[in-house]
Each structure stands twice: as C-alpha cells, then as structure tokens.
Amino acid sequence: MSELKIDTRLWSSKARNLSPYVPGEQPQHENLCKLNTNENPFPPSPKVGEAIAKVLEQQADDLRLYPAPESDDLRAALAQLYDIDINQVFVGNGSDEVLALVFASFFLKERPVLAPDISYSFYPVYAQTFGIELVQIALEEDFSIDPDAYRQPCSGIIIANPNAPTGLLLSLADIRKLASEHSNSVIVIDEAYIDFARAVNDSSDAEISAVSLINEFDNILVTQTFSKSRSLAGLRVGMAFGNVSLIEALTRMKNSFNSYPLDKLAQVGATASVLDVEYFTQTCQQVIDLRQSLTAELTALGFDVLPSHANFVFARPKDGNANTVANALREQGIIVRHFDKPRINEYLRITTGTAEQNSRLIDTLQTLQKEAEIIAD
C-alpha cells in the first residue's frame, strides 16, 4: 500500500488511542491456497444463492425499503433449530458486531472482564474500544482452560469454545461450573466453531453447545456465526442465544447504534442456510473428516498437533521453527497463520482446506523437509 500521510489533529482522543484488530490477510492471487482465516473450504448451501437470486429477480423493488429491523424470519428459523423462543435469539452483522454489542451491554462496569490469555484477539480490542479492563487468565500448560482460575470478581467472562487458536473444547460441565460460581456476571461462550466440535464418529445426541444451558442459567450468553460452519463469511451474519433479558439488552444496544444491521439479502440468504439442514450436516462432517486426516498427516511429518474440535489445527513443527515454515509455505503460494506471541510463536494455525488443498500443503511440507535434510547433510 502506498504511504498515506494521516493527520490525527481532528481525531477524538478515543480514535487516537484505538489499536484495531488486524484480520488475517485476504490476498487475491490465483492458485493461492488460503488456509489462514478459517473460512470453510466448501461453498454455502445452493439454497442461499437461490434465495438471494429470487429476491433480486422478483422483489428487487423491495430493496427500496428498509429491511425487517429485527430479522424476524431469520430469528424464527434459528429459534426452531435450537427449539427455543424467538425472544432468546439475537442476530447481528457478523458475530464480531454481536460481540461488540455484548461488551457494551454487559461488561461496561466497574469490575474487569476475564478472558483466556490465548484466545480470539478481538476481545482485548473491544475492551479497549469501550474502555473496559480485561484481565487475561493464563491457559494451563497444555493450553486447556481451568474454570477454577476464573474465581475472582468480574463483570463477566468471555471464552471461545472451541478456543481459538488452540481448537480445544471446554466441557459443558465446566461451563455450568463457571455460570453457577458467577451468578452475577454474564458468561459469554463464543461458539464460532462449535459445529465442528462433535467427536469423530459420535452419533449420540449428547449436547456440546452451551445453547442447551440458556434455559437453566440466566447468565449464559452464547454467540455463533455463519462465517465458518455455514460458509458465509462474506454475508456477515452472527447471532447470540440467551435468556430474554440478555437478548433485550443487546436489542436496546443495537437500536441505539444501528437499527438495521442485517440487510435484506443477508436475512434471506442466512434463513435459507438454516433451513437446509441436510447440506449443513453433510459439509460439517466433511470438514471434520478433513481436519482429522490433516491432523494425522501433520503428525506423521513430525508436527505436534493439538486435538482440534474446530475447522483448523494448531500445530508445532518438529523444530518449533513455525515462522520459517510459514514463510517457506508462502513462497509456494500456501498461506497459514502464525501468531508472533509468547507461548504460541512455535505454532501454526492451519485451516483445513479441501482434500486437494490439504494434499498440496502436505506435499509441500514434505518437499521442504527433504530440502532441509539435504542442506543439513
């Protein structure tokens, strides 16, 4: 990018003091193998495109009008999916927006909000945006979350489950424990990856999503997104599930900021996606299978791979030279994510691609290893 000269003289001190989130890059080269931002390798349900096309062909005139402010059809479909009340469902322009409203609605208090030290890096950004103190609670040595470490006064707790970038899953028993020990705080479970969390070959209907707890705990709020498991990162739809009082707080906050966060096409497309249960179930299973084979193949190459419950793996190359590996892959047109942060700088976060993309990754890693051996000899 060319160097722009920015004059901050007219900025508020708020704008001056922000340190915005830096999303994973979205390069546009051809033949690029993009395994860096946890997008789904499969296209969205064909029903999504059909529903949007139908609006454009038959009701384009409706785009003149404002969309349904509370996205009623979409919320009804989501309520039905989880067998809850429509008033327990909130939707927003991507779960990032939902999370921003969550911080403003529940965490803007005297006490700090607690989050794992290694987690979604947007949480500290929201905290800073709203002037909220965020206390980071260290993950255990094996990167797991110990609910006992959260026993301190707080306005709330936010945990990504499965966690990012580790991919590890916190049990519902631990979430219950957090919720009962902090009955005066909001426990936010960010389930961006929950649809990939079912154990391999687990055909039981044992619950893994904390949405199953919202009738029992009035202080659990669960956020999810259409960006990962529904292949709709470009449509920008996220949601929250919780007790009606929590949802009402979010709705008030939304209506004090932007009453129409979801445009008509997003509402229609997202609703079509929810209704196509079969496609969703099938593609989630394919992603899970691909993640498992990717885990096995990386392990065979000497990587140390955490047991992932998401659509990515968190893996440490044999010598811990993650940054070198990431750069070498990039030269071959394969982009993975490396976080230059203490404790995790020897790891790579690799999104599972299609079978073809995964084999290209594995083949390239193999070649790189052979070259390194020749140089070493």
Ligand X SMILES: *Cc1c(COP(=O)(O)O)cnc(C)c1O
- Is 191 in a helix, a strand, or coil? coil
User: Helices 46-58 and 264-275 meet at what angle, rounded to 10?
Assistant: 140
Nearer to ligand X by Cβ, of 118 and 365: the residue is 118
Binding site for ligand X (CB under 6 A): 38, 94-96, 120, 160, 164, 190, 192, 225, 227-228, 233, 238
Nearer to ligand X by Cβ, of 228 and 316: the residue is 228
Which tokens belong to 149? 């470490």
Q: For residue 115, what are the β-bridge partners?
A: 136
Question: In whole angstroms, how close is the CB of 228 to ligand X at the nearest point?
Answer: 6
Question: In whole angstroms, how close is the CB of 299 to ligand X at the nearest point?
Answer: 24
Q: Which amino acid is at 276?
A: D
Q: Which amino acid is at 317?
A: P
Nearer to ligand X by Cβ, of 147 and 238: the residue is 238
Q: Are 119 and 159 in contact (CB under 8 A)?
A: yes
Q: What are phi and psi of 168, to 5 degrees?
A: -80, 150
Q: Are 224 and 194 in contact (CB under 8 A)?
A: yes
Question: In whole angstroms, how close is the CB of 267 to ligand X at the nearest point?
Answer: 15
Residues contacting 297, CB < 8 A, separation 6+: 358, 362
Q: Are 100 and 129 in contact (CB under 8 A)?
A: yes
Alpha-carbon distance of 314 to 374, in angstroms, equals: 27
Nearer to ligand X by Cβ, of 125 and 192: the residue is 192
Question: In whole angstroms, how close is the CB of 373 to ligand X at the nearest point?
Answer: 36
Nearer to ligand X by Cβ, of 36 and 95: the residue is 95
Question: In whole angstroms, how close is the CB of 16 to ligand X at the nearest point?
Answer: 25
Which tokens belong to 154? 């707080």
User: Helices 122-130 and 94-102 meet at what angle, rounded to 10?
Assistant: 40
Half-sphere exposure (Cβ direction) of 251: Cα atoms closer than 13 Å = 18
Question: In whole angstroms, how close is the CB of 92 to ligand X at the nearest point?
Answer: 8
Q: Which of 21, 219, 27, 34 lies closest to 119, judged by CA?
A: 21
- Is 160 in a helix, a strand, or coil? strand
Nearer to ligand X by Cβ, of 230 and 360: the residue is 230
Nearer to ligand X by Cβ, of 120 and 150: the residue is 120
Nearer to ligand X by Cβ, of 102 and 365: the residue is 102
Question: In whole angstroms, how close is the CB of 183 to ligand X at the nearest point?
Answer: 25
Question: In whole angstroms, how close is the CB of 121 to ligand X at the nearest point?
Answer: 9
Q: Which of 248, 258, 233 lies closest to 67, judged by CA?
A: 258
